[in-house]
Structure 1
Amino acid sequence: MNFFQFIFQDWESNKTSAKGRVIMLLFRIANFCTTRRIYYYLLFPYLVFYKILVEWFFSIEIPWNIKAGCGLRIYHGQGLVLNNQVVIGNYCTLRHCTTIGNKQLPNGTMSHSPVIGNYVDVGCNTCIIGNITIGDQVTIGCGSVVTKSVPANTVVAGNPAVPIRKLMQAVEVA
């Protein structure tokens, strides 16, 4: 994947949101440079610009070094906070006031961050924390607090989040 394909991989997913397009474009440029170890002293001014614009002006914390699959969609974006160890699959949707990160364990250390599968739809005001895995094609309802792993093809909601429905799996036709 060349530079332009890489930085525009989320363009179509965010076609209804100019803000989402700008944020994802800025994120992908920073992510491209940091994951390919472009000369850090040349990159440093851009990373400062990225941090000021995205975090301070857009109020979104998306560290430039997270692993995020293609087609990441940002709706509204205000108050979105991601830990730098989060892994996000392809074609996921994140809405405003969402936090995805680690948690402090009883012994004082920090847990690992969540791994989110492909085609996950995260509702607004959601908190996903801890060393958990969110399966593919999961829908997380608004206001949910997810602290346990969620199997694929499930709808979860609540505080704490519990499965409320199992989605139909696509059947391959031979």
Structure 2
Amino acid sequence: MFNSLIKKKIDKNLLEYKKIVVWGFGGLGELALSKWLPADKIEYIVDTNKKNLDKKFKKINCFTPKKILQKKPDLIIVCSNAYLEIFKYIKEKNIKCKYYYIYELFLIDHNSCNELTNLYIDLVATKNCSLLKLLLIKPQVLVNITYRLSKYLRKYKLLIIFYWLIAFLHYLFCMILSIQLPLNVKAGPGLIFAHPGTIVFTRNAKLGSFVTIYHCCTIGTTLNGGNPVIKDFVTIYTGSQILGSTVLDSHSRVGAMSLLLDFKGKKNSTIAGIPAKTINQF
């Protein structure tokens, strides 16, 4: 059901484009092509992995990125975790067309108050497979499931008994998986815990969409009362501490073992160090 809803929304948002290129033919690219993107508008696929160049999707061929310089599209949809590097390539080659990371299409006109849709996006972003397999290989999604369901149920007075049950399970799973995620935390869709283990949030933290957090991280307050704000498409790697009034702008990466205290980040940047500083901008 949610796949069809996302596909309809993406189809609507892509109406103005006639020639679309998909960059990336790995797992995410195959998922996007089969589930979400309009195949009749896809001109061709590009990928830097030579193993993918021999593959086809519904008679749509895969080429190297040089193809874009020869036959320019109206829109490039990037289906790769290396999307910032790909965006940089597009800019450097002066390719004049619109481009999006595939998950950015999910957020156009998205109602972030719909926690059930948010939950589906969490699960797809974590790993696209059956729910049973996902629970076996990524048990930390139990925290996502109970977090989203609790926030959904507490809106309805008639469901208050179910809310308390799911909320109890939420804190139980938080304890077992060592992920302290208070229900007061505000988080957009696509919240990913890469691994379970020692992840702590202050109750007043604000997270945007498609935030990925690795193990042994703290998103915490300080004695001054500041609370972190993390915007869209941010990845925080192992052992990092995001403290106080830190603001991480969209499309940022925080290197492992970094300390950010009242830090003001920039868009499209890599941040690392103790104390942290911006070491690269895309």
TM-score interval, smaller chain: 0.7 to 0.9
TM-score by length of 1: 0.83
Query: Are 2:27 and 1:27 aligned?
Result: no
Higher relative contact order (CA 8 A, sep 6+): 1
Give the distance between the partners of 1:99 and 1:123, measured in 2 at CA: 11
- Superposition pairs of residues 69-148 of structure 1, within 5 angstroms: 69-105=188-224, 111-147=225-261, 148=263
Give the distance between the partners of 1:11 and 1:151, measured in 2 at CA: 28
> What is aligned with 1:160?
275
Task: Name which of structure 1's ranges 88-97 and 8-17 shifts more when overlaid on structure 2.
Answer: 8-17
Cα deviation for residue 135 of structure 1 reads 0.4
Cα deviation for residue 73 of structure 1 reads 1.0
How many correspondences in the alignment?
160
Query: Are the aligned partners of 1:8 and 1:25 in contact in 2 as well (CA < 8 Å)?
Result: no
Q: Tell me which amino acid in the other structure corresponds to 2:120.
A: F
Query: Are the aligned partners of 2:116 and 2:149 in contact in 1 as well (CA < 8 Å)?
Result: no
Task: Indicate the percent of aligned positions where both proteins have the same amino acid.
Answer: 22
Query: Are the aligned partners of 1:89 and 1:116 in contact in 2 as well (CA < 8 Å)?
Result: yes
Change (3 A) 1:39 1:127: farther
State the secondary structure of the residue aligned to 1:156.
strand
Cα deviation for residue 144 of structure 1 reads 0.3
Give the distance between the partners of 2:148 and 2:165, measured in 1 at CA: 16
Give the distance between the partners of 2:157 and 2:190, measured in 1 at CA: 24
- Superposition pairs of residues 40-59 of structure 1, within 5 angstroms: 42=161, 43-54=163-174, 56-59=175-178
TM-score by length of 2: 0.53
Change (3 A) 1:104 1:5: same
After superposition, the CA RMSD in angstroms is: 1.9
Cα deviation for residue 45 of structure 1 reads 3.0
- Segments of structure 1 that go 5 or more residues without pairing to the other structure are 106-110, 168-174
- Segments of structure 2 that go 5 or more residues without pairing to the other structure are 1-110, 129-136
Give the distance between the partners of 1:41 and 1:81, measured in 2 at CA: 27
Q: Tell me which amino acid in the other structure corresponds to 1:49.
A: L
Q: Tell me which amino acid in the other structure corresponds to 2:117.
A: Q
Q: Tell me which amino acid in the other structure corresponds to 1:8.
A: Y
1:114-165 deviations in whole A, cap 9, x for unaligned?
1101000101101000012110011100000011111111111011111111
Give the distance between the partners of 1:128 and 1:37, measured in 2 at CA: 34
State the secondary structure of the residue aligned to 1:13.
helix
